[in-house]
A and B are shown apart, each in its own frame.
Chain A
């Protein structure tokens, strides 16, 4: 059984997608148990896989028993072992939390939603687990196509936003495919390990250079790296809560994973950082991404849209960290994949709860929420603290590594951008807290008004949210273990 974990990760959700769409015809109430079971199996398998990797080292799985280069190999090391656990657990927690809001927002479309949802999770897990460059493209498109569908199910403007995302996403994926084509021309292989083995003598080749840059541009488009971010805010804002709280935490993070995989495994850091000498430029781009993300977020008067711009800034964190070209920066970037996925999930679940109760997410809708929804807001505070970077929440620790990496690289612009973004985040979140806390203003110290009664979201939504909030703190406290036992091994020793 345990040898089959990599296959289970993809096969189980794929097959359950069929099961769910069939169950949708028979009895709609069956869909939810099926998806929860399937995702639980996936979570179990991903954790098992990570433990195996920790114990025995890299796991290589030949799909269908065909050895590469003929067959597709799944290749799990410490890096994607960690990301797999994150993707699986975020998907599971979110689907549980989303049940009530699906029932409220679009009860008749629950079955198609769950089908798309689990297909998307299949795609994301596949992207992370695969060791084949072309297979990655296919899974990328699976995740993207289901994502367009999920995002389009939202409010009135959702379809147009989703279509814009489709245009951009397709270009991004095509760029990646083109880059892989160049790699194939020079190496004759599509297997990542194989390519990595064949590339070193070819580092001076123009085709390899072209492949690298084209792949990077494609991946940056897909992860909404400023200035290629224009599709993201609208697409995520207008989607339903259930869809955006899956897509917002995972898609950009998985794409960052792909970028790191390209740098670390396929092209190796020596090529990416030493031969190319592009680091400085990319880190400055990341600085611009962070600063612009923060400023654009500041201009929003709408909670959900503000959060999407924070994602744009966070992508800048990770790209910048990865491109600093040293161990601390890369550690920070990988750690931030985990942390940002969790904290984005946290804040988007909060938005889900607010939308469920208040039916809106503009700033005016948030008045008096601390009294009305104390648990949701408590989790929101934890999530916000993590985004600001206050210890002991996890966001602080990845920021620490990123700043440390920037200091070691002597890149003070990046340090300044990170500090700036933290300060802006304080403003962003306390602006919201103020609205939730002070407004509506009472006449005299609040004596006269009877306090508005508590009106919390259902337990099924609040409990997963609180779990996420607790995880944010736990991950923070166990940062030392995560770095020493997992991330340390995910980065090649050549990178210092």
Chain B
């Protein structure tokens, strides 16, 4: 495969890091948000400028420094990384608009800190996407963990403190306790950590070692929310909603799923996993998570908590898709990163908009809200369709490929899991929408008067909802990237 050396990946990572001094030093909030926009747009532009080269099948590499023999801080942009970077950097712009509406709408404190750490988190996310080896990935993964801590704990009250603790305990505990030793063992065995299609192992290592390493790496990237390392995610919902939206529907959790996928495809390699029959192990863990998370989501009354459990389930779809080890399944898993991102961010935006406009957090208090906030609730409906996987939304494609993948891999139990989980998804989303619009006037908890959240909140959710629909009609870019990545 052809490779180009270019500094662009490094710039894409650094741009949001370098903007933080500007954010800190700007006295005026408008100037500050202006800088955020500038950085977000430059970032997207840099990422997008690399798309044509990637679509032609080339890879872009850049080595920053070699830190250990055979291990460098190195960036490599391939189709899969590009897919993820494109999703996260484009959604950053939308989220920034939304953040302005949300944070100002609620008159939140410490907004400068908030925007700074948001920018750093985005740097880390793109860094993960463009990592060429496990070490670089680990570096940015940890950076993301620590950069999102102040965001999760934004409110600085007792609840935020205990959630922050849980967040760190799971995420940092797992990454230092499991990923770091596993990474060291890999390096000690093979002398390299570079991602490659055929994996880094020779295949002569004992099976037990491989299984342990695989489990350590897959579970260690706890941001992927695979059970039993999932309970940080509902706890982290104390964060302001834009944080939940971008970080806990897109950046943080997808970084986890992305890392797991990289481990499966780049460290172990599909062939080795198939030969040792290790894919099935991951399949079953993911399938368990999918079903359990969906069942728990049914019982949640807090809207954001329900969304959080839904996210846990959907993340495991991604892992499941790749663990099927069939080409279609992998395409499904990878495109699901993009499709789910657009759908879920819409849902979170809606939850935030409802909170800003009405102060309501619980589903039971939202009967009849469709009359008051019709635009928001229509967007919510579209987002749910996408997450469930129904046309005309982008989510349909990823589900479609996933289902095909199970058939291709001859994994009928997984097909059952996917279909029943889709039913469960419908079961926990549609009642919300139904009760929002169709209720008797006596039941309605809101006056029949249209009063949406501030325009800064509404525009982004309309944009992402439209994006979900657009992805149904124009999914080519993401499908092409995923296809390139599986080739």
Interface of A toward B, CB cutoff 8 Å = 385, 388-392, 397, 400, 403-404, 407-408, 415, 419, 422-423, 426, 430, 434, 437-438, 441-442, 445-447, 451, 476-481, 483
Interchain CB contact (< 8 A) of A438 among B67, B143, B153, B188: B153
Query: In the complex, what distance in Å separates the CA atom of A400 from the CA atom of B188?
Result: 11
Q: What is the CB-to-nearest-CB distance from A170 to chain B, in angstroms, rounded to a whole number?
A: 40
Interchain CB contact (< 8 A) of B184 among A391, A407, A451: A407
Interchain CB contact (< 8 A) of A404 among B146, B156, B187: B187
Query: In the complex, what distance in Å separates the CA atom of A404 from the CA atom of B181?
Result: 9
CB-contacts of B158-178 with A (<8 A): 158, 160-161, 164-165, 168, 172-173, 176-177
A445→B109 contact, CB < 8 A: yes
Complex interface: chain A residues within 8 A of B67 (CB)? 397, 476-477, 479-480
Interchain CB contact (< 8 A) of A423 among B68, B138, B156, B177: B177
Contact of B476 with A by CB under 8 A: no
Contact of B208 with A by CB under 8 A: no
Most chain B CB within a 10 A radius of its CB, from A423, A445, A477: A445
CB-contacts of B117-157 with A (<8 A): 135, 138-139, 142-143, 146, 150, 153, 155-157
Q: What is the CB-to-nearest-CB distance from B165 to chain A, in angstroms, rounded to a whole number?
A: 8
The DSSP consensus for interface residues of chain A is helix
Q: Please name the residue on chain A nearest to B154 by beta carbon.
A: A445
Contact of B211 with A by CB under 8 A: no
Q: What is the CB-to-nearest-CB distance from A409 to chain B, in angstroms, rounded to a whole number?
A: 11
Number of chain B interface residues as a range: 35 or more
Complex interface: chain A residues within 8 A of B165 (CB)? 430, 434
A442→B184 contact, CB < 8 A: no
B146→A442 contact, CB < 8 A: no
Complex interface: chain B residues within 8 A of A407 (CB)? 184-185, 188
Closest 7 pairs (CB-CB, A-B): A391-B139, A407-B188, A446-B109, A480-B66, A480-B67, A403-B184, A390-B142
Q: What is the CB-to-nearest-CB distance from B255 to chain A, in angstroms, rounded to a whole number?
A: 16
Residue-wise interface mask of B (12-46) relative to A, using a CB-CB cutoff of 8 A (1 in contact, 0 not): 00000000000000000000000000000000000
Most chain A CB within a 10 A radius of its CB, from B65, B158, B180: B180
A426→B173 contact, CB < 8 A: yes
Complex interface: chain A residues within 8 A of B177 (CB)? 419, 423
Q: What is the CB-to-nearest-CB distance from B108 to chain A, in angstroms, rounded to a whole number?
A: 7
B180→A419 contact, CB < 8 A: yes
Q: What is the CB-to-nearest-CB distance from B250 to chain A, in angstroms, rounded to a whole number?
A: 23
Query: In the complex, what distance in Å separates the CA atom of A441 from the CA atom of B168?
Result: 20
A392→B160 contact, CB < 8 A: no
A408→B188 contact, CB < 8 A: yes
A445→B157 contact, CB < 8 A: yes
B187→A426 contact, CB < 8 A: no
Query: In the complex, what distance in Å separates the CA atom of A400 from the CA atom of B180?
Result: 9
B184→A404 contact, CB < 8 A: yes
B109→A392 contact, CB < 8 A: no
Q: What is the CB-to-nearest-CB distance from A454 to chain B, in angstroms, rounded to a whole number?
A: 12
B142→A445 contact, CB < 8 A: no
Q: What is the CB-to-nearest-CB distance from B158 to chain A, in angstroms, rounded to a whole number?
A: 6
Q: What is the CB-to-nearest-CB distance from A111 to chain B, in angstroms, rounded to a whole number?
A: 40
Complex interface: chain A residues within 8 A of B440 (CB)? none
Q: What is the CB-to-nearest-CB distance from A337 to chain B, in angstroms, rounded to a whole number?
A: 18
Q: What is the CB-to-nearest-CB distance from B229 to chain A, in angstroms, rounded to a whole number?
A: 15
Complex interface: chain B residues within 8 A of A426 (CB)? 168, 172-173, 176
Q: What is the CB-to-nearest-CB distance from A479 to chain B, in angstroms, rounded to a whole number?
A: 5
Complex interface: chain A residues within 8 A of B153 (CB)? 437-438
Query: In the complex, what distance in Å separates the CA atom of A442 from the CA atom of B155?
Result: 10
Complex interface: chain B residues within 8 A of A415 (CB)? 181, 184
Query: In the complex, what distance in Å separates the CA atom of A390 from the CA atom of B175?
Result: 10
Interchain CB contact (< 8 A) of A400 among B73, B155, B184: B184
Q: Please name the residue on chain B nearest to A435 by beta carbon.
A: B161
Interchain CB contact (< 8 A) of B157 among A391, A422, A442, A477: A442
B156→A438 contact, CB < 8 A: yes
Q: Would you mind naming 11 contact pairs between A and B with Cβ atoms under 8 Å apart?
A: A388-B176, A390-B142, A407-B185, A419-B176, A426-B168, A426-B172, A437-B156, A438-B158, A438-B161, A445-B108, A478-B65
Contact of B107 with A by CB under 8 A: yes
Contact of B110 with A by CB under 8 A: yes
Whether A438 contacts B157 in the complex (CB less than 8 A), given A445-B109, A446-B109, comes out as yes
CB-contacts of B298-326 with A (<8 A): none
Whether A392 contacts B156 in the complex (CB less than 8 A), given A419-B177, A477-B65, comes out as no
Query: In the complex, what distance in Å separates the CA atom of A407 from the CA atom of B187?
Result: 10
Complex interface: chain A residues within 8 A of B66 (CB)? 480
Extra pairs beyond A438-B157, A480-B67 (15, CB < 8 Å)? A391-B138, A391-B142, A392-B73, A403-B180, A415-B181, A419-B176, A422-B180, A438-B160, A446-B109, A446-B110, A477-B73, A478-B65, A479-B68, A481-B65, A483-B68
Query: In the complex, what distance in Å separates the CA atom of A23 from the CA atom of B433?
Result: 82
Interchain CB contact (< 8 A) of A441 among B108, B139, B158: B158
Query: In the complex, what distance in Å separates the CA atom of A446 from the CA atom of B110?
Result: 9
Query: In the complex, what distance in Å separates the CA atom of A165 from the CA atom of B161?
Result: 40
Complex interface: chain B residues within 8 A of A483 (CB)? 68
A419→B181 contact, CB < 8 A: yes
Q: What is the CB-to-nearest-CB distance from B232 to chain A, in angstroms, rounded to a whole number?
A: 14
A451→B188 contact, CB < 8 A: no
Query: In the complex, what distance in Å separates the CA atom of A415 from the CA atom of B109?
Result: 43
